Structure 1
Amino acid sequence: MKPIIRAFFKTLRLVLGPVMLLKERLTQPKGVVREPAAQTTVNLQCQNLALYQFSTCPFCIKVRQEMRRLSLPIDKRDAQHDSAHRAELLQGSGATKVPCLKITDANGQTQWLHDSAAIVTYLRARFAAAA
């Protein structure tokens, strides 16, 4: 029974994955436009952030859309197909749950933020005021 259920969901992902990616591409929000100096500051702050994600995860798509809306050049790391990124996610956060935002502060301390709603709230609180 388990192999049948796994095969069903694998087939479902194979069929719906491209549809979800197409929808994401067609519904991309316009990014906020900042003054060049303000955008440079935001770009520098985003160098300390990394999003661990799967390309067709609907929760990851939600976070990527918010990143586009806020014009945030956050490094996106594929934890599904890249074993090094997956291992780093597992070692750092203790799970391979995505989306996960890695936040490194000025002191080198790392915080791992799971859950798309929490990530979107964090990004809005930190970067929406700069928009």
Structure 2
Amino acid sequence: MTNAKKTTESQDSNQSSRESQNSLESRNSRESRESHTPQKSRRPKPMEVLREARAQLAELTGMTAESVSSFEQTEEGWVLEVEVLELERVPDTMSLMASYQVELDAEGQLTGYRRVRRYERGRADARGSR
């Protein structure tokens, strides 16, 4: 009688294990199909673009973006001008800042950047120039 009970428990346990495995395989298969199904690309919101641009520029340059001074949506994507602390000095007004032009595609992925200006934090632009 004890052997019959153990055999039944063992069969029930194996059945439960197979059902769990089948359920897991079914879910993984469905998730795999969903991730490979082409979805209509969603254009990111402006704040998402700003955050992503700052994060990507910081990762590439190793410098933290302090502010975004220009932001424009174009046919190809987005163009931003980001102010970055390049060299920290004491006093802070002598620190070197830089403006970077950052270009992103329509999905918000960085496609290029370049430094367009370098200046001391405490200096104002000359009248008529950047």
TM-score higher than 0.5 here?
A: no
Q: Which has the higher contact order (CA 8 A, sep 6+)?
A: 1
Q: Which has the higher helix share?
A: 1
TM-score bracket for the superposition, by shorter chain length: under 0.3
Q: Which has the higher strand share?
A: 2
What TM-score results when the alignment is normalised by the length of structure 2? 0.24
